[in-house]
Amino acid sequence: MSGPRWVPTIDDAKVRDGACVPVYPKGVGVLLVRVDGKLHAVANKCVHMACPLEGGKLEGATLTCPCHDWRFDVRSGEFLDAPELRIATFATKVEDGKVLVELKGA
């Protein structure tokens, strides 16, 4: 399908270091996370039981799901206790102060 792959979300300045901010480009639940100044975007849905990850605890690059404590590396999306499982990751870029998220196949 055609259409904009890069979808604008919120102001880059609104994602503080160490914070998780949920956004919904084209209705897709995405979590923007800034770790050591670098912006990451992951699916806002745990691979275990689909809990929203936004209320989870972020320590360094490790995000712990608030439901059952499943832990993910927000840089790779990898589940730390079994690398076969991962949350989706999305490319991001900043244009005119806005964070754009790349939705594949959008």
Interatomic CA distance for residues 16 and 39, integer angstroms: 9
- Is 52 exposed, middle or buried, given 0-12, 13-18 or 19+ CB atoms closer than 10 A? middle
Report the residue number, 7 or 47, with the smaller CB distance to other proteins: 47
What are the residues binding other proteins (CB under 8 A)?
47-50, 67-69, 79, 81-82, 84-85
Report the residue number, 25 or 77, with the smaller CB distance to other proteins: 77
Q: Are 32 and 90 in contact (CB under 8 A)?
A: no
Query: Closest distance between other proteins and the C-beta of residue 85, in Å?
Result: 6
Report the residue number, 26 or 48, with the smaller CB distance to other proteins: 48
